[in-house]
A and B are shown apart, each in its own frame.
Chain A
Amino acid sequence: MKKSLCAFIALVLILCGASASAEERSFDGKVLATIEMEASADEIEYFFQNQLGIPIADFVCFPTVTECLMALKMGKVDTLLNMDASAKYIAEQDDSLYVYMDPRLADYTDISLSMVTLKTNSELGARLDEAISALREDGTLDKLVGSLFSEKAYEVAAETDAAAETIYVGVTGEMPPVDYVDASGAPVGFNVNLMNAVGNKLGAKIEFIQMNKAAFTTALASGKIDVAFWQEQSVSEEMLKQLGPLSDLIYITEPYLTLSISAIELK
């Protein structure tokens, strides 16, 4: 009796182990979540189900990565889509998480980061474009991108004197490691270093204004900030083709960084 019980338990364990290792993770039947973007959650869900043919259960959007992570940990959502640099940062902080990608989304994983100014201020936009290409040529941008995926930090300090013209830049502080706030309350991250480098190139003083992501459009339109950061995701871009063009009031610079989307799940 004891022997047969042991054998049965062993068999069950082996079967479970085999099925677990054979199982490939995919988005099928899962609740996906991401940080709010231009396209609404329903439109993304429709895109997944009908254009990509991935039978996801639901798609939800949250304002920041913090809410996404809470929903993931409490089982409200199964999968979190985020840019790979953020996914890596999140997985480093928490070893109960697993990062992967469903191959069926492969054509739509690109996410490019750029800056945005008002069309009425397109002269600034052109200068930003010049500064970005100058930084790309002298290797500063490569060093910054390298530091996103390695341990060693590469920081750029502002060198412009206080009397120079000021460019006001909006930061959310809620998108590590691209844009976050350190323990002392100062804005840090890739975007901050990049803007400092841009400021040094342009001979302008960069002032960071921390505000809720939801207030960015208003802040930009009212001129409280001159520059905001912009993300273009190939997923939402594909959908925006159907939804119509973006507002013609904004000027979007050339992307300074192209990342790809990763999926994060509990192990």
Chain B
Amino acid sequence: MLKEFYESLIAGGAWLNILMGLEVTLRISACSLLIGTLLAAPLCACRRAKGRGLSGAAKAVIAFLRGTPVLMLLMVFYYVVFNSVRIDASIIAIAAFSLNVAANVAEIMRSALDSVNVGQRDAAWALGMSRAQVFRYVTLPQAARFALPVYQSAAVNLVQWTSVVGYVSIVDLTRAINFISARTLQPFLMLFVGIILYLLLAYLIYFIFGRLGKIRLGMSHRYYRRNKV
């Protein structure tokens, strides 16, 4: 067992290879989550817009991106849309995953914002708050509390979905592990190593979101001081 462990992970610096794969997985996931979330905000705003056309268009875009398997989207991006340019494949992967994340997170945002009781908004207006203030101090804190757990599981899912990037010539954590198990023919050992590493990534996300959850967005003392309520 120890010998197999050594041959698969230590000999010839194979662990370095796994670390590089881990870095690729982490980079693609983090960038896609960030860009996707930034794209999701305007998409969600369009989706909730009063205008039929804008809302309908956003609805169609979201339905298309959520209904498309991300692997197919990725392959279309790599082999069709960006076929003639030889740029780093991970940039293309980030583009494809960002769009998928954007659609999913837009829906998370919409359901979170819709979950806040309309009566609260009316009450805040009655208190003389501006639209921006109502959003910042009443709607957003409650919606964020509702959205955070769902957003967190979307992030964990994203990390796992990125394991398909092997289809577009990227060597991520899954590929690095598959290469080693094909070379040393110790597939079971490498499966467990892979599970442990993906679990670690998931726990990293839980940790970060645990910290994020502690940030107070509500009617803090800052609001009272600034607005002299």
Contact = CB atoms under 8 A, between A and B. Distances in A.
A66 B179 CA distance: 9
B221 to A, nearest CB: 53
B16 to A, nearest CB: 8
Interface stretch (B75-83, B119-127, B143-151): B75-83
Contacts of B185: 65-66, 69, 89-90, 93-94, 176
Interface in B25-74: none
A16 B171 CA distance: 50
A66 B17 contact: no
A183 B178 contact: no
B47 to A, nearest CB: 33
A224 interface: yes
Given A66-B181, A185-B171, A219 B79 contact: yes
Interface string A32-63: 00000000000000000000000000000000
Contacts of B169: 209-211, 219, 224
A215 B168 contact: yes
Given A70-B188, A222-B80, A223-B83, A184 B182 contact: no
Contacts of A184: 12-13, 16-17
Interface in B167-219: 167-169, 171, 175-176, 178-185, 187-188
Contacts of B184: 93
Report which residue of A66, A94, A181, A212 has the largest number of chain B beta carbons within 10 angstroms of its beta carbon.
A66
Contacts of A185: 17, 20, 171, 176, 179
Greatest chain B CB density within 10 A among A73, A175, A214, A224 is at A224
Contact of B179 (A70, A181, A215): A181
B83 A174 contact: no
A66 B187 contact: yes
Nearest to A208: B169
A79 B14 CA distance: 30
A183 B13 contact: yes
Interface string B101-117: 00000000000000000
Contacts of B75: 215, 218
B79 A222 contact: yes
B11 interface: yes
Contacts of B176: 185
A180 interface: yes
Given A175-B182, A180-B182, A212 B187 contact: no
A221 to B, nearest CB: 8
A161 interface: no
A210 B80 contact: no
A26 interface: no
B17 A65 contact: no
Contact of B182 (A174, A211, A215, A222): A174
B167 A215 contact: yes
Nearest to A185: B17
Contact of B183 (A176, A212, A215, A224): A176
A210 B172 CA distance: 11
Given A185-B171, A212-B167, A218 B182 contact: no
Contact of A224 (B16, B83, B180, B182): B83
Contacts of A212: 166-167
Contacts of A70: 187-188
Given A173-B179, A174-B179, A183-B17, A214 B187 contact: no
Question: A67, A73, A174, A214: which has the most chain B beta carbons within 10 Å?
Answer: A174
A88 to B, nearest CB: 12
A173 B176 CA distance: 10
Contacts of B175: 173, 210
A202 B16 CA distance: 35
Contacts of B178: 64, 66, 173-174
A65 B166 contact: no
B133 to A, nearest CB: 51
A222 B83 contact: yes
8 contacts: A69-B185, A174-B178, A174-B182, A181-B180, A185-B171, A185-B179, A211-B166, A211-B167
Given A70-B188, A180-B182, A215-B167, 16 more contacts: A66-B182, A90-B185, A173-B175, A173-B182, A174-B179, A175-B182, A176-B185, A183-B14, A183-B183, A209-B169, A211-B168, A212-B167, A218-B75, A219-B79, A222-B80, A222-B83
